[in-house]
Structure formats: structure tokens, C-alpha cells
């Protein structure tokens, strides 16, 4: 994106075809939030709420714009009937989060009257959503005892695992991960469950996380190897799996990569989508778009709109394997990067199905 400091908010929205931005401020609770709705042609927007201590308001805005757009592609490619949206609260969740702040956010969300449904993301737990739900019905992902779908991390991890197997199938003609050297960066709720799948299949797994306790628990439970931070991104492995925050793949890190493919659950792994995806292809590294394989979570919560059934959510998540194969094949036969191919397939569905909805 161009220097955002010299570009108006409307120009930034227009450059990526965003529909709506809602800036929320409440002096009493300290709430500073931005809700971004990117596209609703397939249905109401849906995406997580992130609470993070951004350096400045511009950084928060850029996160909303990027993440809401990525949700549109993720939801479209997953074949579910929702559009893309995202929200952020500026602040440290360990310091600034409170019931009053969350409920005030819920009041702002309710003003959108169902144009955007919120789920949990970094810094927001399902229990936090319960406060928001006291003020608005447009919340998904609360615990099952409150009528929600509960923890989405198992299906997110399952989708990443399936995407990994599909990538190996595309590259090698088989989908076994047995004996593969796999580096898992980030072993939180998603990454730890992914490790379980990989170890069960016989992969040689190494892990890293800034949370040493999380690392210790995974090492103790699964017998995997822990590595130091500086050895993560440039580890010599078959598969690098990024499952923490985004922006790890950039002009500084890509030249030092020593993996064959990258398949992980973190959002926005590429700092500069177009430039970095081309750089990975030039290096012969297969990058599997994160929004394609990490869709299990949004698939899970989206089913609440139709009456939640866990078996249905898992059945739809299983399609990530076939979708990944199709996109990688399309990329290799169309002189596209996998990112370009995934976006093209998502845009095709948005156009075709979205036009049908417009004329009903």
C-alpha cells in the first residue's frame, strides 16, 4: 500500500473496495475501536475482534483494512455464506480490558443491525464475547452452554493440517507427513493442536513460542524438540508452519528461509502480499495462503447462523483439503502464485454468487 499518511481514509477504503468503517470511542470506558466491513455480497460480514496495544491509530486502521479483506477471501474460498469483516480494540488486553469496555463495544456493534457478526481473535476470549453478547445478538463463538459453537481452535488446527497434507500431495504425489521435518512457530490453542496431528502421523516436529510455558507443555506432552527464537524462520525443514502473529515473511526474512513449503494458521503472514509471494516463488518455496487453510474456525462459528451442528462444521472444514489441491493446481497451470490463484478463486465465487443474491 502507498504511504497511508498521504492518502485519505476513503481512498484507502476504495483501493481495496471496503464497504464500511465504524470508529468507536467512549471516554468513560476508554474504548477506542474500529470495525471494518469489507464485503457483504455473500452474506453478513463475519470475522474476529482483536484487542492489541497498537503503536498508533494508523497501525490499527491498517490492521482492520487488511484483516477484513482477508476475511472476505477466506469466507468465500471456504464456501460459507458470509462476507468479510474485522474489528480491533486499541489497548493491552491484560491492562485495559473490562466488562464495561466490552459491553460498550457491543452497543456500537448493535448499531450495525447484523451487517457484521463478531467472533474472538487475538486478545479476546470466548468468555469476553459473553459480555458483548449482553448488548447485541450479533456475536458468534461463545461457549456451547450459551448456545454458541464453543472453541474453534480444534477445527482451525484441523484445517491447517489438511492443507499441509494437500500441499505435500501437490508437490510430491502423496500426502503422508511421516518423517517430514516441520517447524511449528506458535503453540497456542491452534498450534498445540496442530502439533498433535503432526506427531500422530509421524512427523519430526520442532516448536517455538514466546510463551515458554506453552512450549514446555507441548514438549512434555508430545516429546517434540524446542528451538531458540533466532533458529525458527531460517530452520532447515520441509515445512515451516507459522501460527502466531503475521508479517513474518518479508524482504528481510525470505532470503534466509531454508524450508520447502510454508503452511500455517497465522493471518497475514506476508508483510507485502504481492512482492513477498513472488519472492517466495522465485526461491522455489511453496507458500500455501493462510486464509485458505486456517478457515476451520470461521467455518465453525458461521454455522451458528443456520443452527449449529458440529458434524456439519467438520464436514465443511474437510473441504479445505480439496480446495487447497485445486488452488495449487490452478496456480501451477496458470502462471500464478498460490496467493493470486486463491484470491482469483475467491473473487470468482463472490462475483457469481453475489450477483445471484443481488437479483433475488
> Any idea which residues carry the catalytic annotation?
86
3-state secondary structure of 121: coil
Considering only CA atoms, which of 268, 123, 264 is closest in space to residue 207?
A: 264
Considering only CA atoms, which of 317, 325, 315, 316 is closest in space to residue 345?
A: 325
Cβ-contact 157, 295 below 8 angstroms: no
Cβ-contact 1, 15 below 8 angstroms: yes
Cβ-contact 316, 290 below 8 angstroms: no
The side-by-side arrangement of strands in the sheet containing 286-287 is 225-226, 204-208, 181-185, 236-242, 258-262, 286-287
Residues 6+ apart with CB under 8 A from 328: 166, 167, 170, 286, 288, 338, 341
Distances (CA, A) of 127 to 24, 117, 121, 133, 146: 22, 16, 12, 10, 10
Amino acid at each position: 500500500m502507498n504511504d497511508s499518511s498521504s492518502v485519505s481514509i476513503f481512498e484507502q477504503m476504495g483501493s481495496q473496495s471496503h464497504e464500511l468503517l465504524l470508529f468507536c470511542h467512549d471516554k468513560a470506558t476508554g474504548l477506542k475501536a474500529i470495525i471494518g466491513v469489507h464485503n457483504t455480497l455473500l452474506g453478513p460480514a463475519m470475522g474476529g475482534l482483536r484487542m492489541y496495544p497498537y503503536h498508533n491509530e494508523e497501525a490499527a486502521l491498517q490492521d482492520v483494512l487488511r484483516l477484513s479483506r482477508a476475511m472476505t477471501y477466506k469466507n468465500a474460498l471456504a464456501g460459507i455464506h458470509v462476507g468479510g469483516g474485522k474489528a480491533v480494540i486499541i489497548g493491552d488486553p491484560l491492562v485495559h480490558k473490562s466488562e464495561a469496555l466490552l459491553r460498550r463495544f457491543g452497543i456500537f456493534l448493535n448499531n450495525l443491525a447484523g451487517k457484521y457478526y463478531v467472533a474472538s481473535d487475538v486478545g479476546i476470549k470466548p468468555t469476553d464475547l459473553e459480555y458483548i453478547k449482553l448488548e447485541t445478538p450479533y456475536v458468534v463463538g461463545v461457549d456451547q452452554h450459551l448456545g454458541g459453537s464453543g472453541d474453534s481452535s480444534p477445527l482451525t488446527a484441523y484445517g491447517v493440517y489438511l492443507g499441509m497434507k494437500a500441499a505435500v500431495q501437490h508437490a510430491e504425489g502423496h500426502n503422508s507427513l511421516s518423517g517430514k521435518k516441520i517447524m511449528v512457530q506458535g503453540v497456542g490453542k491452534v498450534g498445540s493442536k496442530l502439533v498433535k496431528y503432526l506427531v500422530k502421523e509421524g512427523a519430526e516436529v520442532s516448536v517455538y513460542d514466546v510463551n515458554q510455558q506453552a512450549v514446555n507443555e507441548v514438549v512434555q506432552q508430545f516429546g517434540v524438540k524446542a528451538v531458540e527464537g533466532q533458529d525458527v524462520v531460517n530452520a532447515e525443514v520441509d515445512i515451516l508452519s507459522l501460527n502466531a502473529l503475521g508479517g513474518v515473511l518479508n524482504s528481510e526474512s525470505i532470503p534466509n528461509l531454508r524450508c520447502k513449503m510454508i503452511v500455517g494458521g497465522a493471518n497475514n503472514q506476508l508483510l507485502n502480499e504481492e512482492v513477498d509471494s513472488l519472492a517466495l516463488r522465485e526461491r522455489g518455496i511453496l507458500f500455501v495462503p493462510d486464509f485458505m487453510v486456517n478457515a476451520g474456525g470461521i467455518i465453525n462459528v458461521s454455522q451458528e447462523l443456520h443452527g449449529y451442528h458440529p458434524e456439519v462444521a467438520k464436514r465443511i472444514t474437510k473441504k479445505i483439503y480439496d480446495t487447497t489441491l485445486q488452488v495449487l493446481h490452478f496456480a501451477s497451470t496458470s502462471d500464478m502464485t498460490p496467493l493470486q490463484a486463491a484470491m482469483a478463486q475467491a473473487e470468482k465465487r463472490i462475483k457469481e454468487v453475489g450477483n445471484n443474491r443481488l437479483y433475488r
